[in-house]
Amino acid sequence: MHLALSYIPILTWAKDYNRHILASDLIAAVIVTIMLIPQSLAYALLAGLPPEVGLYATILPLIVYAVFGSSRTLSVGPVAIASLMTAASLSDIAQQGSHDYLAAAITLAMLSGIFLLMLGVLKLGLLTNFLSHPVVSGFITASAILIAFSQFKYILGVNAEGGDAITLITSLLSSLQQINIPTIIIGLGVLLFLFSVKNSGTSFLMMFGLSKRTSQLTTKAAPVIGVLATILIVSYMSLHEQGVAIVGQIPSGLPRLAIPQFSIALIEQLAMPAIFISIIGYVESISVGKTLAAKRREKTDANQELIGLGAANIASAISGGFPVTGGFSRSVVNFDAGAVTQAASIYTAIGIAIASMLLTPVLFYLPKATLAATIIIAVVSLIDFSIVKKTWSYSKSDCFAVIITIVVTLLFGVEAGVICGVLVSIFLHLYRTTTPHIAEVGLIEGTQFFKNVRRFHVITDPHILSLRIDESLFFGNASYMEDKIYHYLFNDDQIGHVIIICSAVNEIDFSALETLKNINERLIEQGVILHLSEVKGPVLDALTNVDFIESLSGNVYVSQFEAFNDNTNSKIEYK
């Protein structure tokens, strides 16, 4: 039973479900359903797929995640970044609008689901940490810019293509003579309306006596108002006959469930894009899930989230959809609307299913410019250039990583941006661990504390070199430590004792052990004694087991104060 509870979280909260929770979940579901209908259509458009596929990618994934997901308020479905990455991954495989393109999108969802599910079952969520937070922020910012640019062709009513910023802008500029006036009026009108509601809608509604929370939730329905208004305008004025691109016929009904048929060649082409989409989607999803869970002191299990998202993507593939993940905006709305459990997602799925069966004929005259405006407003909030300033103030290397990721994503597309982000993150980790902070320390007078000689006024002994290594020692940084020690000895021939403070060393691998042996032997040749201090128990056990301690020219001290006091010419009394 415990195993079932760990892998099927719905069993945990379902037993305590009551009518009060039901009421809260139903209210949240209604609000999220209203928000999700235009979003799902818009993100399918962004992915290069028929609009109904956006609905299909919402229904079953919401239900499946509700069963297997660990977050009680995360809302799963199509999102902007995953949709853009889907379009980028499939652009060279098949023609948008073709059956092969849809089949490839379904395959991509299935591969993403299998990859995430495998990571979750094997409890390998740590593999997704190859993307640092600054790199992810840079990638999302650049991707949001690309998404916005890619939608301006619908706002202007022109034909423009491209997977990077330069190609997109060039294509848009070369197509300006094709601008369709009714389309641009609709597109800019909806943009202005949504932007105004987003920035001033809450305060405007509060003027009429609505509470702040009610006003905030009501403004989330603005895209639906834009959809209905533009449908009426286009149909009444027959603007589709004047070149306004519309969604057209959307099949009514629920998605047909079927196990996708795969080809080995297609799997080989989509394997890496599926991994990248999975990693980016998971990082985005777990960040949102943990943030919302923390507000209610709930727990989000990282490995269970992999299982939940993996199952949701497999469900999307089975129902003819494309890759999905937890969406930031809809999850926040779900949370703010009062959702208590994942039952809200199940009710939302039912609402989307009803809309798929009954409301699709109404969407025939929906302008693509309206959906494009919805996407642009949604992704503008993802653009965050403040991360550049923040990282510059805190860490120049992180700032460099952010800038590189943004530039590569904008110039070469999202796939290159993801690869660059992973490589930069790994490089930064390797750089920091292979060049650890090594501080020469001295004693603060009147205490037993040893601090960096460059930061504090401390007592030192010219015959003693005390070095604190602020990193575990392994093959990648052992030579760096060795060079540092020899550098000090080369510049100061008075040194007779070297004390390595190991308070921050959690592990010493075999390569680092061999380096320590070499240092010890070389120092003996120069008449210098090597000591260790504050060595942690497991590390000391490992060093003792290989007889290193016996061969050490000096001693191993419990504290640095003892090591310093035992080897200095003038004993220091602690007061």
The two structure tokens encoding residue 155: 């706002």
CATH for 438-567?
3.30.750.24
Q: Tell me what pLDDT residue 575 has.
A: 39
- Domain boundaries of the chain, sorted by first residue: 2-178+259-360+386-427, 181-243, 438-567
Question: What b-and-e string marks burial along 98-125, b requiring 16 or more CB atoms within 10 Å of the CB?
Answer: eeebbbbbbbbbbbbbbbbbebbeeeeb
Average pLDDT, stretch 339-364? 92
Higher pLDDT residue, 443 or 210?
443
pTM of the model: 0.82
User: What is the 8-class DSSP label of residue 239?
Assistant: G
Tens digit of each residue's pLDDT (9 = 90 or more) over 510-541: 999 999 999 999 999 999 999 999 999 999 99
Over pLDDT 90: what percentage of the chain? 52
Confidence category of residue 473, pLDDT binned at 50, 70, 90: very high
C-alpha span between 514 and 499 (Å, rounded) = 18
C-alpha span between 210 and 217 (Å, rounded) = 11
* Three-class DSSP category at 9: coil
Average pLDDT, stretch 15-40? 89
For residue 40, CA distances in Å to 103, 118, 408, 488 come to 19, 27, 28, 63
C-alpha span between 217 and 338 (Å, rounded) = 11
Q: Tell me what pLDDT residue 574 has.
A: 44
Q: Would the pLDDT of 401 be above 60?
A: yes
The two structure tokens encoding residue 463: 């015959």
Q: Is 207 exposed, middle or buried (0-12, 13-18, 19+ CB in 10 A)?
A: exposed
Q: Tell me what pLDDT residue 491 has.
A: 87
- Whether the CA torsion 203, 205, 210, 215 is positive or negative: it is negative
Q: Tell me what pLDDT residue 410 has.
A: 92
Q: What are phi and psi of 122, to 5 degrees?
A: -85, 0
Using the structure block, give the residue that is written with the tokens 């805190």: 394
Tens digit of each residue's pLDDT (9 = 90 or more) over 307-339: 999 999 999 999 999 999 998 888 888 888 888
Q: What are phi and psi of 19, to 5 degrees?
A: -70, -25
Average pLDDT, the chain: 89
Confidence category of residue 202, pLDDT binned at 50, 70, 90: confident
Q: Would the pLDDT of 229 be above 80?
A: yes
Higher pLDDT residue, 58 or 333?
58
Q: Tell me what pLDDT residue 300 has.
A: 82
Q: Would the pLDDT of 5 be above 80?
A: no
